[in-house]
Chains A and B, each alone.
Chain A
Amino acid sequence: MHKFLKIVLQIFNYSLFMGVVWYFSLYPAYHQLDENQAMITFTLGHVGKHVQECRRMTQEELLKLAPNMRKPMDCTRERSPITMELQMDGKVIYNKTAPPLGLFKDQGIDIYQNIKVPAGKHHLLVWINDDIKVKGPTYRLEQDISLKPEQHMIIEFNSSAGKFIIK
């Protein structure tokens, strides 16, 4: 084949290769949200309450224990599962019951959940229950919110403050 034609073909091949490189480095574009949608992230890092009430040890019981083991409260290690729910305009948009982690079910759980929602004004209700001995929410927050398209709203249950924080 003629040398010139070979070079033209080489240029074509290089262009094709780099064309593929360029295209897939950017396209097809990924649509994370539809038009007019916003993102809510519900998050918490929390340890549930003890499944059983702690019991104060009697003096007699304490004396039976080795001196270094004498703790006034007798607690089982197991923690309560945590149920959480998000409602928007009366509709449940997220609901989950997470069991405690750990071999002895004595550890907390971490949640980081993205939820796509329509932008605009909404009525939000969020609650959790971290104590199986209690029926219904142990913490709750109800609030009107307004979401711009593409807004990322974080609804966090802040464990140390014991309340929901919306950012």
Chain B
Amino acid sequence: MSYINPVKRAYLALENWFNISFGNDWNPLYHLGTLAFFFFWVIFVSGLYLFIFFDTSLSGAYASVEYMTHEQWYAAGVMRSLHRYASDAVVLTIILHMFREFSLDRYRGFRWFSWITGVPNLWFVVTLGITGYWLVWDELALFVAIKSSQLMDALPFLPASMSRNFLESQINDRFFTLMGFLHLLGQPVFLAFALWIHVKRLSDVSIIAPRGLAIGSFVALLVLSLLAPAVSHEAADLAKTPAVLNIDWFYLNIYPLLDNWSSGEVWVLTIGITVFLMLMPWLPPKKTGPAAEVHLQECNGCEQCAMDCPFDAISVQARTDGARWEHEVVVLEHLCAACGICVGSCHSSNPFRHAREKLVTGIDMPQQPINDIREHVTAAIDSLEGENKIIIFGCDNAIDFAGLKSSNIAVVSYFCAGMIPPTMIEYALKLGADGVFITGCRTGDCYYRHGNRWFDERFAGSRQPILRKRADRRRIHIFRAAETDCKKLRKELAYFEDSLAKLKREAANTGEADHA
């Protein structure tokens, strides 16, 4: 087994724990980004309701929030709690989202863009929460207002002191209205834009959480809201400094630092962390393989590869080579993750074609062309001995399969399960393999996002190019597991060998019976 670092191990253990109860389809760790979106929806809808009753003036804000919390506890009060707890859940979800991308090494190489465009979202979310706490205008709000102003005062480009605003009730009032505007409109618009950029380079991003997870999370939020409704501190009073404040650590964590640190030092820390996060994809950098190449003479412009590309790296344009087809595809090299999924999508990757010549496909990976794969498969099957000849088509990013090679087992590696042309499976069976064993990333968590999904759809016949019906499904086995699941892999392979042997015996028996 290859080395797996402790952070990744810890993450995989956590993921495994969730798989036990949620199953792979609803494992929340596979849907953290989407879950964050789900919580934003809850925040948005509850926020709209709160807005109806909220008084945006400094003098009326606190009373209006009190009214919602106590007199209308059954509606606005619940909405307030949903608004609060969904906001906290967003931060926790984002922290887990970052931990996941980091521990699975999905933040470097071609993923640098997703990572660094995630960072501003952290700022937008946290500052949105800060202005939210400001609007309640209770003791906590006053604390947040004063401490935020002290932080702002340390910035060189602000001409006048913000902290001293609180001494002038008129200015304070106008400032409060500005916060209301920021929280209700300005910041959400920025956040929505930043989120759009964040997922812009990915295809098929879902911002609607799977139903089961959405219902479960909502019920959990609702139960929490009923059990521990969000309440305010006492009304803001400039003549009082409350000794104890129940601060929301998801949003207000930097403020207590100001007790011992200067505003400048707090800025250095927060900006330092931000810069560090932004630089992480290059500490150290990770190389992405050469981009896919289009071979126009074999491309009929069917666009399947463009539809399947998980990173929107293939675009379609009018034909340039005078061929009779309408379209051709172009690889946008700077976006290509070199996953090879497009090779699996291309009808021309069929190894039965050009049996005596070099196999050229419409779109190919220069570092592992389809022709090399065909030669490799052919030679590997040729070299197999014994009763149950098995060829493993292994995904490079999943469990380590190299050690499984033996006299009756050969291995061929692919960048992703989605890179395997279905016809290659038929080809292996036709060439004499008794079974094809295909490994992949954990169900629901393909390293290249959609490889497993496309594979399954091709297998089921609902996505082109399909695995034809005539391919004997009993001789094809799919195994998906975490890198730590080596024992399971061996067990599964042994089980597959047994079932192939059984198939052979059955075939022999029916053959004898037919003979008789």
**Taking beta carbons and an 8 Å cutoff, which residues of A are in contact with B?**
1, 6-7, 9-10, 12-15, 17-18, 20-22, 24-35, 37-39, 43, 45, 110, 112, 149-154, 156, 167
Contacts and interface: CB of A to CB of B under 8 A. Distances in A.
A21 B85 contact: yes
A26 B164 contact: no
B163 A31 contact: no
B239 A18 contact: no
Nearest to A149: B243
B300 interface: no
A31 B256 CA distance: 9
B22 A10 contact: yes
B200 to A, nearest CB: 29
Interface of B: 18, 20-23, 28, 84-85, 88-89, 92, 143, 149-150, 153, 160-161, 163-164, 167, 216-217, 219-221, 223-224, 228, 230, 237-250, 255-256, 259
B161 to A, nearest CB: 3
Nearest to B212: A10
B274 to A, nearest CB: 21
A152 to B, nearest CB: 4
A150 to B, nearest CB: 5
A20 B228 CA distance: 13
A38 B241 contact: yes
Contacts of A17: 89, 92, 220
A34 B220 CA distance: 36
- Which 9 A-B pairs give the minimum distances between C-beta atoms? A110-B161, A9-B21, A112-B163, A39-B241, A14-B220, A33-B243, A26-B246, A152-B241, A24-B249
5 contacts: A13-B21, A17-B92, A18-B220, A22-B88, A25-B249
A37 B239 CA distance: 14
A101 B199 CA distance: 44
B130 to A, nearest CB: 14
B248 A32 contact: no
Contact of B243 (A1, A9, A37, A156): A37
A162 to B, nearest CB: 17
B216 A10 contact: yes
Contact of B216 (A14, A22, A28, A35): A14
Contacts of B164: 43, 45, 110, 112
A32 B242 contact: yes
A26 B237 CA distance: 21
A33 B139 CA distance: 14
| Residue from B217, B220, B228 with most neighbouring chain A CB atoms (10 Å) | B220
B279 to A, nearest CB: 28
Given A17-B92, A21-B85, A110-B161, 9 more contacts: A7-B21, A10-B216, A20-B92, A21-B89, A30-B255, A30-B256, A112-B149, A112-B150, A150-B241
A33 B143 CA distance: 12
Given A37-B243, A112-B164, A154 B250 contact: no
Contact of A43 (B92, B167, B223, B250): B167
A156 B168 CA distance: 12
Given A15-B220, A110-B153, A30 B247 contact: yes
Nearest to B244: A29
Given A24-B248, A43-B164, A18 B21 contact: no
A9 B19 CA distance: 11
A12 B224 CA distance: 13
A31 B246 CA distance: 9
Given A10-B216, A13-B18, A14-B217, A25 B243 contact: no
A21 B167 contact: no
Nearest to B159: A107
A112 B158 CA distance: 15
A45 B162 CA distance: 11
A151 B242 CA distance: 8
Given A13-B18, A31-B244, A34-B243, A25 B223 contact: no
